[in-house]
Amino acid sequence: MDKLILRELHFVARHGVLPIETETSQHFSATLELELPLAPAGETDRLDRTLDYCAVQAVVRKIIEGTHKKLIETLAESVARELLLAFPLLVAVTVEITKPRPPVDFQFAGVSVRIRRERSQLAPR
């Protein structure tokens, strides 16, 4: 399947389990692999035959900058579900959410979660 990839969309939000994470904003990033047939767009040069990545970013922003979540796993699930609901051309999506500097007492390059969800797995609300 063809993929449209949006790399490292950056956001500032308050998510996490620790009390400081609800008090202080921190950086998050999202990388998306959007699976859909891209030949129709490539052959016609028409935006309506693909996904408008500005519209995709708006969906992701609403979730990540929205309601507090304890887990980045929950953010990833919410992003995947909303993208599949919002864009009928989308067959599957891989979502990677990264918290580059979690407030812990050891040093590391951050934490990420990566999930892949398909439209066929989408359960009704």
Q: What are phi and psi of 86, to 5 degrees?
A: -80, -25
Cα separation of 21 and 2, whole Å?
Answer: 37
Q: Residue 30 in contact with residue 96, Cβ under 8 Å?
A: yes
Beta strands 111-118 and 92-99: pairing type? antiparallel
Strand order from edge to edge, sheet including 26-35:
3-13, 26-35, 92-99, 111-118
Query: Does the annotation count 99 as an active-site position?
Result: yes
Catalytic hit among 3, 62, 70, 99 = 99
Cα separation of 115 and 31, whole Å?
Answer: 11
Residue type, 22: T
Question: What are the catalytic residues?
Answer: 99
